[in-house]
Structures are given as structure tokens and as C-alpha cells.
Structure 1
Amino acid sequence: MRLTKEQLEQFDREGYLFFPGQFTPEETRTLTAAVPELYSRREAYNVREKDKEAVRTNFAAHMYSEPFARLARHPRMIQPVMDLFDEQLYMHQFKINGKMAFEGDVWQWHQDYGTWLNDDMMPTERAMNVAIFLDDVNEYNGPLMFIPGSHKKGVVEAKHDLTTTSYPLWTVDNDLIRQLVDRAGGKQGGIVSPKGPAGSMILFHSCLVHASTSNLSPWNRVSVYLSLCAVSNHIRRFKRPEYIAHRDFTPIEVLPDDCLLKPYPVDLPWKNGMPASALATTSEPFDQIRKAA
């Protein structure tokens, strides 16, 4: 999958691209069928909603689940980002976000790069998310909300919210959100919310300001996020555990386009359990760690 000139221009202008039905129902079912077993595990990589059993985020499934290991190498997800960066990529983060029926909590207004900069010392915003819907997404089950063009502001001021939900996030002040929404068109397009069938895909800039509301509907809204980073832009600090922010900067090698339908072999380094090193953290910058080694 290659991006057209028009798509590249749209991405530059709005900060995101939406591809409804990018993956077939058969491809999507391969992924959806694997989620319940992954969510059932009592592991550090499953972050649950505050005071609830519902999983908010499953991290690093591509390290121990064959279907998601193949998705992590899928050309429809990797190639568009390579086109935008004109560089090979590594997997900075891999998430299966579970906005579960009646229990899925909010994600506050934020930029992904704000967290990657403040926590991981990622040098620039040459990283972005590619998301695939595993459920139909409608206006009721907590869809993503974007402020179009907000990526043009670059990195905005944020505060570290440690209390609102079970997952800490660098969040954007409400007054700035009002300004950004007004700048993007106010009630006429200042907030957009891509919705569509399971298998739809979104690609969005790491500085695009976004959020989602709680899911009070009876329908799950599970999505997979590949956070892809240019190899030269790898993180410089390991403050967060490896299952959240990966430390293997090896370029991703894509599989054939039918990799969700055929059993191509993939490496699963954590298949028999997550190593102790995946929980280790340090506040030392990467360059100092490398010198010490």
C-alpha cells in the first residue's frame, strides 16, 4: 500500500488519514478471536481500568501472540509510514486498547509525542500511530476525536495526569483545547471523529491532539495501535518498562500482504513469558547506558 500525492497532502494539512474497511472481515476476525485470551492474563502488560476488571490496554502482544506479530509486520500498516518518513521503522509501542462496553474509560486530550518526549526522550516527532478497528466504531462507543491540523502547533504544553484514569498521561489544558478547536473551525469541523466498520484503519501524526470519551454503550470498541518510529529517531531513555516502550531498534521487515490469512513464521521472543529485563527501568539517558556497557 502506497500513499498518493493527494493523501500525502491531506495528511500534511489535517494530520491524519482514514481508510474505512482497509482489512477484510476474515482478516479482522483472525485478530479479534485472539483478544479474549490475551485480556484474561494476569500480567503487567494488561493495564485494567481504574477499580474495574476490564482491560484498558494490552501492551506488546506482537512479542507473544502470532496473529499480532504478523499484524506488526503488515505492509498495509508499515508501508504508509515509511512513505511519510522515507526511512525504515522500528516498533516503539504496540497496544490493544479495550474500550469495553459500559466500562471503557476516557482518554484525556493529549498528544502521543508529548509522552514519548517527556518519558522516553524521543528526539523528534518522527513517529506516529497506525490504528485498526477490531470492532465497528460508532458515535456511541467512545470513538477517537481529533482536532484537525493541531499537529501544526508542534509540541504543546502538557501536564502529567496521574489520577484521572489507571494510566498516566501527559494531557493538554482545556483552555488550549478550546483555542485549537476554534482554530480548526469550531462547531464546523473543529473536532472530527472517524467512524466505520471493523477493519478500518487510521494513520495519525504524533502531535495531533486527540481524545476519546467513555463507552456507555453495550458495544465494545477494541482497537490496535502500532506506534512506529523512524530508526534514527529511537528513544534515548528507558524510564518506562520495555513492554511499554520498546528498546529493540531493529528495522521492521514486512511480510506479504496476505500474512493475516496464512501462517507465515514469526519470532515470538516472549511466548514463554516476559523476561525480567522487560520490567527494568532507568532514568539514565541511552548514550550513558551504551558508554557504560
Structure 2
Amino acid sequence: MKLTPQQLKDFDELGYIFLPDCFPKEEVAALRQASADIFSQQREEIWREKSGVPRTAFACHTYNEACRLAASDARLIDPLEQLFGEQLYIHQFKINAKAAFTGDVWQWHQDFPTWQKDDGMPEARAMNIAVFLDDVMPINGPLMLVPRSHKTGALPSSHDTQTTAYPLWTLDNDTVAKLVEQNGIVAPTGKAGGVLMFHANLVHGSAGNITPFPRKIVYLTLSAVSNAITKPTRPEFIAHRDFTPVERAPEGALAELAQQHATA
């Protein structure tokens, strides 16, 4: 799947693009079942909120077949190879869960400063691609983005280890307020199966979820092979050390797996 000239222009200008209906409902159902199986387990790779509900499952592509196929899906790999002009490796794979009623916030941040400070990533030649596993609505804690904020480069940030169960390099309120005054806030919403891709320096965050509607998202972080991390401080399941270029799964492999699940 290649991005159109208009999509490339929008990404350069805004720092993100949203692709609705990228994954059909059968494939989403397979990934949603995979997430339920994963979050039912007790593993060190699964981080939980202070309340005990699951927050993030890291590296589940290493032990779950549906996630493995998603992590090597051409629909996610092709656009980034197009942007970076070289092969990619998987820096991180995770499922973020914002549980009904109790899902906690993600503070305002940029991704690259965390990857740089915690993992030794040289440049912002990596980014997240998000696959919606649930309908993302204005009410259930959608990801909020500050358009054009990626053009500021990496901003000063501080290590927040108190607000949530997950430590994060976050931005101060004054910085966010100034950026929002200049550029506003958008919150891409859509049906399960939509794909959101955004620049590593785009400022983003999300509020808590106090609705009955859960919000789960697959995040695949791909980095240019030339941009491999140099000084990782986090566990390998959070910041991968295998810099082998990712190989695309056979076309239709996730759909075939979904069909097997449906008929089992």
C-alpha cells in the first residue's frame, strides 16, 4: 500500500494521516481475540494500570500469530519504507488498552525523545502506526494530536514516573498550551480497522476513559535500519535489539488466519 501524493503532502504538513477501513472486520476480530488472549496472561511484558487493569502488552508479536502477521503486514510497512526510502526494523510492537471506566491517561509527549533518551535512537527516522481494534470515539479517550507540532523538532521533556504506571518523557503545560494556541488539537476517530500514522515528533496524548466503551489499539513502531538504537536502557521486549529488516507476511495471511478462527 503506497501513499498518494496528496497523503504525502498532508503528512509533511500536518505530521499525521488517518486511513479509515484499512483492515476489514474479520481481521480486526482476529486481532481483538488475540488481544483478549494476551491480556488474560500474566507476563512481564504486560504492564498494568495502578488499578490492576491491563495498560500495554509489549512484544506480543513474538508469541502470538495474529500479532506476528500484523507486525509484518505490507499495509503498515510499505508507507514507511516509502517515507524513509530504506528498509525497516521493528523497534517496538505493543497493544495499548484503555479499559472501560478505568483506562488511564497518556500524558502529552513526543515519541522520539523517549526513544532517544531511553534507547539511544540517533534520529527521528522511526514512527508509530496505530491500528484501531475498537471503535475510537470522541468520548472513550481518543488519541489527541497537535497538528504541525512535529516541525518544532524534539522539545525539552522531563521524565514522569509518577502520573501513571508507565514512565514517560513528557512536556510541560506551558509548552503544550503554546503549541495548541498556534495549531489546535485534533482527535482522529473512526471504526475499528482504521490506521493512524504519525511523525515521531508529533505532540500527542490522551485522556482517561470513564465510558463503558473500551479502546484498544495496536502500535507498530518501525525504524529505518540505518537508525538502529545504540544505548538501550529498557528491556529488550520494549526496545528490540534485532535490527534485521522486517519481512512482509504473505499477502492475505492475516485474513486466512481470521477465516480459520471464524470456522474453528
Same fold (TM over 0.5): yes
Aligned pairs, how many? 258
Q: Which residue of 1 aligns with 2:31?
A: 31
Q: Which residue of 2 aligns with 1:227?
A: 221
Contact kept in structure 2, 1:76 and 1:257, CA below 8 Å: no
Taking the aligned partners of 2:84 and 2:17, their CA distance within structure 1 comes to 15
Q: Which runs of 5+ in 2 are unaligned?
A: 259-264
Contact kept in structure 1, 2:108 and 2:170, CA below 8 Å: yes
Taking the aligned partners of 2:172 and 2:253, their CA distance within structure 1 comes to 42
Contact kept in structure 1, 2:136 and 2:190, CA below 8 Å: yes
Q: Which residue of 2 aligns with 1:94?
A: 93
Contact kept in structure 1, 2:30 and 2:257, CA below 8 Å: no
Q: Which residue of 2 aligns with 1:199?
A: 193
Taking the aligned partners of 1:240 and 1:75, their CA distance within structure 2 comes to 28
Contact kept in structure 1, 2:106 and 2:206, CA below 8 Å: yes
Taking the aligned partners of 1:48 and 1:162, their CA distance within structure 2 comes to 14
Taking the aligned partners of 2:142 and 2:87, their CA distance within structure 1 comes to 30
Taking the aligned partners of 1:40 and 1:255, their CA distance within structure 2 comes to 26
Taking the aligned partners of 2:182 and 2:238, their CA distance within structure 1 comes to 33
Residue 118 of structure 1: SS of its match in structure 2? helix
Residue 157 of structure 1: SS of its match in structure 2? coil
Taking the aligned partners of 1:239 and 1:49, their CA distance within structure 2 comes to 22
Bigger radius of gyration among the two: 1
Q: Which residue of 2 aligns with 1:161?
A: 160
Q: Which runs of 5+ in 1 are unaligned?
A: 185-189, 265-293
Residue 102 of structure 1: SS of its match in structure 2? coil
TM-score (norm 2): 0.96
Q: Which residue of 2 aligns with 1:18?
A: 18
- State percent identity of aligned pairs: 52
C-alpha displacement of 1:257: 3.1
C-alpha displacement of 1:175: 0.2
**Segments of 4+ moved more than 6 angstroms:** none
Give the aligned residue type for 1:215: N
Instruction: Identify which of 241, 247, 250 aligns with 1:256.
Output: 250
Taking the aligned partners of 2:23 and 2:239, their CA distance within structure 1 comes to 26
C-alpha RMSD of the superposition: 1.0
Contact kept in structure 2, 1:89 and 1:231, CA below 8 Å: yes
Taking the aligned partners of 2:70 and 2:105, their CA distance within structure 1 comes to 26
Query: Higher helix proportion, which one?
Result: 2
Residue 261 of structure 1: SS of its match in structure 2? helix
Give the aligned residue type for 2:18: F
> Are 1:9 and 2:9 counterparts?
yes
